[in-house]
Amino acid sequence: MKILVPIKRVPDPATTIRVLADGSGIATDNVKWVINPFDEIAVEEALRVKEKQPASEVVVVAVGEPAWQEQLRTALAMGADRAVLVRISPPVDTGAVARILARVAADEKPDLIILGKQAIDDDSNQIGQMLAELLGWPQATFASKVELADGRCTVVREVDGGLETLSFPLPGVITTDLRLNEPRYASLPGIMKARKKELKEIPVETLGLNLAPLLKVRRLASPSKRQAGRKVASAAELVSLLHSEAKVL
Amino acid sequence: MGDVLVFAEHRAGSFARTTLVAVNAGLELARKRAGRCLVVAAGENAGQAAKELARYGVAQVVVLEHPALARYLADAYAQALAALARRLGVEFVLATATAVGKDLMPRLAARLQAAMASEVVAILDDGAFVRPMYAGNVLATVEMTSPLKVLTVRATAFDPAQPSGEPAPIERRDAEIAPDALKMQFVAFAETKSDRPQLTEARIVVSGGRGLKSGENFKTVLEPLADELGAALGASRAAVDAGFVPNDLQVGQTGKVVAPELYIAVGISGAIQHLAGMKDSKVIVAVNKDEEAPIFSVADYAMVADLFKAVPELTEQVRKLKHG
Ligand SMILES: Cc1cc2nc3c(=O)[nH]c(=O)nc-3n(C[C@H](O)[C@H](O)[C@H](O)COP(=O)(O)OP(=O)(O)OC[C@H]3O[C@@H](n4cnc5c(N)ncnc54)[C@H](O)[C@@H]3O)c2cc1C
Ligand SMILES: Nc1ncnc2c1ncn2[C@@H]1O[C@H](COP(=O)(O)O)[C@@H](O)[C@H]1O
């Protein structure tokens, strides 16, 4: 079983994000960069498959700048076998990343691709679904449980109002939700081993794709801040204010 | 002329407020692009949904028919909708960012070689859109340059459509689907049973966090308050991860986005990822024993107290108010 896991470099979720005064981007000084949390879950899920089926190979791939090597190395240290960095210079939109990943998938021929459901920087929640369509593969988004047997994949999905179970023949695309697993930390021996693992770089120009963005960001702004309100001393006071002042009860 | 095709989500013919939000956003977009707003419904009892939706001021409702569409599956729906969007020559395809909308629309966008904007919160006059990023810390103004454009709208950012004018004509069409390309198979749906209002529909939401300490306490401490208020129940990620309540109650950046008239956060610290899902609520109440908790920075009414004492008192006070 060969599993491809696309990962993105994003600001640590605990970072306070500030928009630059000219609206051209966010301030990146003092930002700690990490693997997108959903993608860590994707790496973990792939590693668990490999533990059950030791002949498996887990390949992590990122579409980004040279600095993204850091996150690929972290994934290798967690236990992934190989890494691919497709080097681009921004801006690219989600569609372009999906087209690049589809090309990588065509070369690598994985049985399964596991992505995060959403990158916590752009909050798009698009690329897994786009990739599935470009490849003509089935998709199971927002996975909270994955089972592989007899060339089929059965996925429990977090949807509105409950849990849905889908099944499809491999190859296919899965996107992870938070409850799928608890990602491991890279161990020290893992980190040592990762240094010797292959990290292949592909300049995007060599893929000959049209990557002109169809979605352009004109500017960024900060949303208006909500004001902190008042303290209430008792339940009686609160209910009375909600009734007579806020008029919501 | 920019026509808009709205995907109308429904379950066996009945639909939620979120579907009317998509219709209203579609009407607004059509008005701004000097086009018409068309609606499409498919699946079991789609005719019933179509009949209802025809009353909301739209130009036309299309019912797509095909055995493969009986139940929602992304591959079949993306095929059928893409073919319809091309036939109708629309400029936009739009849905609400529900679990189905999020699953379907990017796949459709890829099929149509269209740009896609997720969770749009505002439609500008010049055809640009505003959407949140970074857990709502950033609002981006985006432009789409492809001939066809796909978007999901955030349910809290638009009002639901209101009935208006004569009912629109309803047209039945056979969906264009290549069945050989369909590989996804529905196995089961385990519904979270609840007598409470839906989280995304409710006028009042009572949410609990890790401070509740157990699922049992959710039942005995928080639910009586929700019941007394006729409120929906919500939760922080920490409460969901700990198994106190089902997954689909998670409010936040990566859960549900809500904006009720009243949001009561109990034992929730107010991490940025949680605020992303509730900070547009009209009135926010927070109950937390930690005076420094970030939730208080967005709360209109702050109650610094032990929830195990404060919440039963609140329930009692609400009861008194209601029943004199
Ligand atoms: C990728 C990613 C996505 C995420 N998505 C979401 C999301 O969608 N939604 C979400 O909510 N979170 C999300 N989170 C998690 C988020 O960062 C926080 O960890 C989470 O919201 C914390 O939940 P909490 O406030 O219940 O718990 P805590 O932060 O532990 O807070 C518990 C609070 O309860 C108070 N408390 C304890 N006991 C009492 C008592 N007896 N009386 C009164 N108060 C008491 C404490 O003072 C504290 O403030 C996400 C995180 C990541 C990394
Ligand atoms: N630049 C990228 N390189 C590799 N994978 C990516 C990249 N951007 C997004 N992804 C993957 O696509 C998922 C969804 O991202 P998005 O659609 O942008 O929210 C992420 O969780 C990653 O798994």
Distance B293 CA to ligand 1 centre (A): 10
- The verdict on a CB contact (< 8 Å) between A239 and B115 is no
Residue to mutate, A3, A35, A36, ligand 2, most ligand atoms under 8 Å from C-beta: A36
pLDDT at residue A93 is higher than 70:
yes
Helix (H) or strand (E) holding B78: helix B74-88
- Which of A131, A159, A161 has its CA nearest to residue A42? A131
Q: What is the pLDDT of residue B194?
A: 87
Q: What is the pLDDT of residue A129?
A: 98
Distance B202 CA to ligand 1 centre (A): 22
Q: What is the pLDDT of residue B323?
A: 87
pLDDT at residue A75 is higher than 70:
yes
Q: Across all residues in chain A, what is the average pLDDT?
A: 97
Distance A36 CA to ligand 2 centre (A): 8
* Integer CA distances (angstroms), A41 to B144, B152, B226, B254, in order: 31, 25, 34, 14
Nearest to A229 among B139, B142, B302 (CB): B302
Mean pLDDT of A73-90: 96
- The verdict on a CB contact (< 8 Å) between A166 and B186 is yes
Measure the CA–CA gap between B287 and B279, rounded to whole angstroms.
Answer: 15
**Per-residue 3-state assignment (H helix, E strand, C coil) for chain A:** CEEEEECCEEECCCCCCCECCCCCCECCCCCCEEECHHHHHHHHHHHHHHHHCCCCEEEEEEEECHHHHHHHHHHHHHCCCEEEEEECCCCCCHHHHHHHHHHHHHHHCCCEEEEECCCCCCCCCCHHHHHHHHHCCCEEEEEEEEEEECCEEEEEEEECCEEEEEEEECCEEEEECCCCCCCCCCCHHHHHHHCCCCEEEEEHHHHCCCCCCCEEEEEEECCCCCCCCEECCCHHHHHHHHHHCCCCC
Atom of ligand 1 nearest to the CA of B270: 25
Q: How many CB pairs under 8 A join A and B?
A: 256
| pLDDT over 90, % of chain A | 97
Residue A168 backbone phi and psi in degrees, to 5:
-155, 155
Domains, chain B: 4-181 (3.40.50.620), 204-323 (3.40.50.1220)
Distance A155 CA to ligand 1 centre (A): 28
Domain ranges of chain A: 2-222
Whether B236 contacts B208, CB under 8 Å: yes
Q: What is the pLDDT of residue A3?
A: 98
In chain B, whose CA is at the least distance from the CA of A97?
Answer: B110
- CA dihedral A22→A25→A26→A31, nearest 10 degrees, is -130
Tell how far CA B222 is from the center of its chain: 24
pLDDT tens-digit series, residues A179-190: 999 999 999 999
pTM surpassing 0.90? yes
pLDDT tens-digit series, residues A229-247: 999 999 999 999 999 999 9
Residue B298 gets which letter from DSSP? Answer: T
pLDDT tens-digit series, residues B81-97: 999 999 999 999 999 99
* Ligand 1 atom 31: residue of nearest CA: B269
User: Is any atom of ligand 2 closer than 6 Å to the C-beta of A79?
Assistant: no
Tracing tokens 């009572």 back to the chain, one arrives at B206
List ligand 1's pocket residues with C-beta within 6 A.
A 13, 37, 120; B 209-211, 236-239, 250-255, 267-269, 271, 273-274, 277, 288-290, 293, 306-308
Residue A163 backbone phi and psi in degrees, to 5:
-120, 130
Measure the CA–CA gap between A192 and B93, rounded to whole angstroms.
Answer: 50
Nearest to A229 among B138, B300, B313 (CB): B300
Task: Determine the distance in angstroms separating the CA of A147 from the nearest CA of chain B, rounded to an integer.
Answer: 13
Q: What is the pLDDT of residue B1?
A: 67
What is the helix, strand, coil percentage profile of chain B, to 5? Answer: 35, 25, 35
- B198-234: b or e for each residue (b if 16 or more CB lie within 10 Å)? bbbebebbbbbbbbbbeeebbeebbbbbbebbebbbb
Tell how far CA B56 is from the center of its chain: 19
Measure the CA–CA gap between A101 and A107, rounded to whole angstroms.
Answer: 10
Residue to mutate, A8, A74, A92, ligand 2, most ligand atoms under 8 Å from C-beta: A8
The phi-psi region of residue A169 (left if phi > 0; otherwise alpha if psi is between -120 and 50; otherwise beta) is beta
Distance A21 CA to ligand 1 centre (A): 31
B127: helix, strand or coil: coil
Q: What is the pLDDT of residue A90?
A: 76
The tens place of each residue's pLDDT in chain B, 324 residues long, gives 699 999 999 999 999 999 999 999 999 999 999 999 999 999 999 999 999 999 999 999 999 999 999 999 999 999 999 999 999 999 999 999 999 999 999 999 999 999 999 999 999 999 999 999 999 999 999 999 999 999 999 999 999 999 999 999 999 999 999 999 999 999 999 998 888 999 999 999 999 999 999 999 999 999 999 999 999 999 999 999 999 999 999 999 999 999 999 999 999 999 999 999 999 999 999 999 999 999 999 999 999 999 999 999 999 999 999 987
B147: helix, strand or coil: coil
pLDDT tens-digit series, residues B258-297: 999 999 999 999 999 999 999 999 999 999 999 999 999 9
Please count the other Cβ atoms lying within 10 Å of the Cβ belonging to residue A99: 21
Residue type, B247: N
Measure the CA–CA gap between A100 and B24, rounded to whole angstroms.
Answer: 35
Note the ligand closest to the C-alpha atom of A179: 1
Tracing tokens 């529905």 back to the chain, one arrives at B186
Name which of A33, A144, A159 to mutate to probe chain B: the one with the most chain B Cβ atoms within 10 A of its Cβ: A159
Name which of A93, A133, A209 to mutate to probe chain B: the one with the most chain B Cβ atoms within 10 A of its Cβ: A133
Measure the CA–CA gap between B88 and B148, rounded to whole angstroms.
Answer: 12
pLDDT at residue A151 is higher than 70:
yes
The fold of A2-222 is: Rossmann fold (3.40.50)
Q: Please, which residues have CB within 8 angstroms of residue B176's CB and are 6 or more apart in sequence?
A: B79, B80, B83, B84
Tracing tokens 């106190």 back to the chain, one arrives at B244
In chain A, whose CA is at the least distance from the CA of B295?
Answer: A228
Q: What is the pLDDT of residue B193?
A: 86
